[in-house]
Amino acid sequence: MHGYVIVNLNVLDSEKMADYSAVAGPSIKKFGGEVLFKGKAETLSGNSEYDMLVIVKFESVDKAKEWYNSNDYQAIIPTREMAMEAIFTVTAG
């Protein structure tokens, strides 16, 4: 069963976002992940404080967690925190 990392976010600093993406993208690929969607999202029902969505597919939930907890990814979290406000979740499907 695949693992999906779902990120709901708002960009805070576009320059920091570019710095973050330059490292996050290759780190995802290094762990066999694939970005399925990245872009604006519209809420159809309820309230959401986020206007962007990213969906990343991994081989499994364990592989998704391995990527998230990797030294490569953990090293860019300070940049991520300057670049965006976000919620990261993982699910199987």
The token pair that represents 29 in the structure block: 């690929």
Q: Which residues contact 5 (CB under 8 A, 6 or more apart)?
A: 33, 54, 55, 56, 58, 64, 67, 68, 88, 89, 90
Encode pLDDT of 53-75 as tens digits.
999 999 999 999 999 999 999 99
Q: Per-residue pLDDT averaged across 75-89, rounded?
A: 98
- Tell me the domains of the chain and their CATH numbers: 3-92 (3.30.70.100)
Residues 48/69, Cβ–Cβ less than 8 Å: no
Encode pLDDT of 11-38 as tens digits.
999 999 999 999 999 999 999 999 999 9
On whether the pTM is more than 0.85, the answer is yes
